[in-house]
Amino acid sequence: MPPDSAPPDPPRAEVRRAQILAAAGDCFRSKGFHGASIAQISRIAGMSPGHIYHYFENKEAIIAAIVAQDLEHVLAMTASLRVACNMKEAMVEHVADGVARNLEPRTAGLNLEILAEAARNPHVAEIVRSADRVCRDSLGRTLRDMRRASGHDDDEATIAGMIEVLAAMFEGLASRSIRNPHLDRDVVVRLFQGALRDLLSQNP
C-alpha cells in the first residue's frame, strides 16, 4: 500500500480502487494500454463499466495511476537498496537480483509499455521522469560516497554519467528479454558484475 497523503477515505472506496488497479494491471500487461478496454477491465475487476468512472475520471487516469503505482515499487526498492549498499562489493552482489528482475517477462512488458506511452503522453512522461529523478538522486549520493571513500574525486557530470551507464545496462535487459528470450542469465550476471566493478573503480 502506498502511504497516500490523501485524507482518510472510506475503506470501501479504497478496496474498490485497488480492485480496478489490479484488473487494469493485468489487462494492460496482456493487451497494452490502448488495447485494453474499460469493459474488459470492469469484467475482471468484478464491477460494471460505468462504475469505474466513480473512481477514475477517465482511462488516462487509470493509466497514470498504474504507472505511478509501478514506479513507486521501483522507488521503494531503490531506497532499500541504498541502505544496504554502502560498499562496492555489496552492490556487485545485488547484480544477480537486478538482472533477474529486469529480465522477468511480465515486468519487462509493462515497463516497455510505460516507456512507449511516456514517449507520446506528456502526463505519463512527467510521472516517469519525476520517479527517475528520485532514483538518480539516491543512487548519486551512494555513488559519490563510495568513490570518495576509495580515494577518487569525481565531478558531478562523471557521477551522473556513471548512473546513466548503470541505468542503461539494467533497463536494456527488458529489451534483451524480448529480443532474445533464451539468453544465458548466469553469464550475463557474471559479465555485469565485471563491468560494474570496472565502472566503479575506473580513474577519471
Residue 55 sits in the site that holds a copy of itself (CB under 8 A) = no
Distance, CA of 91 to chain centre: 18
Residue 58 sits in the site that holds DNA (CB under 7 A) = yes
Query: What is the torsion angle, in degrees rounded to the nearest 10, for the CA atoms of residue 188, residue 165, residue 78 and residue 121?
Result: -110
Residue 170 sits in the site that holds a copy of itself (CB under 8 A) = yes
Find the binder of DNA among 5, 6, 10, 182 (CB under 7 A): 10
**By rule CB under 8 A, what string of x and - marks binding of each residue 128-157 to a copy of itself?**
xx--xx--x--------------------x
CB 83 within 8 A of CB 36: no
Under rule CB under 8 A, how many of the chain's residues touch a copy of itself? Answer: 56
Find the binder of DNA among 36, 81, 99, 127 (CB under 7 A): 36
Backbone angles phi, psi at 9, to 5 degrees: -90, 160
- Rounded CA separation 138/113 (Å): 25
Quick one: what does residue 83 bind among a copy of itself, DNA, none, with the CB cut-off 5 to 8 Å set by partner type? none
Which part of the chain contacts a copy of itself (CB under 8 A), choosing from 37-45, 83-91, 142-150, 162-170?
162-170
Find the binder of a copy of itself among 9, 13, 15, 34 (CB under 8 A): 34
CB 44 within 8 A of CB 26: yes
Name the residue nearer to DNA (CB basis): 31 or 88: 31
Any alpha helices (H) in the chain, and if so which ranges?
Answer: 11-31, 38-45, 49-52, 59-84, 88-103, 105-118, 122-149, 156-179, 185-201
**By the criterion CB under 7 A, which residues form the site for DNA?**
1-2, 8, 10, 12-13, 16, 36-40, 46-51, 53-54, 58-60
